[in-house]
Amino acid sequence: MTKSRILIVEDEVIVAMHLRLILERLGYECVGQVTSGEEAVKVAASTSPDLIIMDIRLSGDMDGIEAARRILANTSTRVVYATAYADASTMRRAMDSTSPAGYVLKPFVEHALRKTLEEALAKGISASGQAAHQPPVA
C-alpha cells in the first residue's frame, strides 16, 4: 500500500513542524509545507496531494478558504482545515464554498487530528470534496 501524500499549508512554522512530525509518525508522506495561499495553489498543482491540511489565516493576501476553493476547482484532492479561527461566519464560508473533508480546531490534540485525517482519507475523492463533519456553528 502506498503512503498517502499530504500537503501542509500553515503559516506558523513551529505548528507546521509539529504537523510534519505527526504525519511522519502516522506513516504519511508530507509532500510539501507552505505558508501562503498562493504557494498552496502552486504546490498543490505540481504535487497532486491526496489531502491538504489547510490553515485558514495565512500569510499573504489569499486565505485558506480561497486557496482551497481554487485548488478544488482544478485538482482532485481533499481539504482538512486546521484553524483557530472558528467563528460562525468563517466556518460557514469554509463549508459552503469548499465542502471540506474535515476540520480540526487549534490547538488540536494529536488523536483528534489523526482521526480526522483517517476519516478524510477513507472517503473517495471528488473534485468538490466531502464534508466529514457538521461545522461547529451555533
Partner 1 sequence: MDLGAVAATTFEKLYETAPAAMLLIDSNRRIMLANNAAENLFGYGHGELAGTEVDALLPEAAEEERAGAVEGSAEPGTPESPVPAPELWGARRDGTRFPVDVVFGPLDLRQGESAVVAVVRDVTKRHEMEQALRQNMVIFERMFEFAPDAMIVVNSEGVIARANAQSESMFGYTRDELLGAPLEILLPVQFRERHHQYREQYFSAPRLRPMGIGLQLMGRRKDGAEFPVDIMLSPLESDQESRVALAVIRDMTVRAKLVEQEQMRRALEQKETLIKEIHHRVKNNLQVISSLLSLQADQLGAWVEERLLDTQTRVRSIALIHEKLSRTDDLAQLDFPAYLKDLIDDLKGSYGETHAAQIRLEADSRYFGLDTAIPCGLIVVELVSNALKYAFPEHRQGHVLVQFQVMEDGRCALRVSDDGVGIPDRVDVDKPATLGLQLVQALTRQLSGHVVIRRSEGTTVEIIFSPPREIVP
Name the one range near partner 1 by CB under 8 A: 1-9, 46-54, 108-116, 117-125: 108-116
Q: Does 29 bind partner 1 (CB under 8 A)?
A: no
Q: Please, what's the b/e burial string for 101-138 (b: 16 or more CB within 10 A of its CB; e: otherwise)?
A: bbbbebebeeeebbebbeebbeeeeeeebebbeebeee
Q: What CA–CA distance (Å, rounded) separates 88 from 138? A: 7
Q: Does 111 bind partner 1 (CB under 8 A)?
A: yes
Name the one range near partner 1 by CB under 8 A: 45-53, 64-72, 81-89, 125-133: 81-89
Q: Does 118 bind partner 1 (CB under 8 A)?
A: no
Minimal distance in Å, beta carbon 13 to partner 1?
9
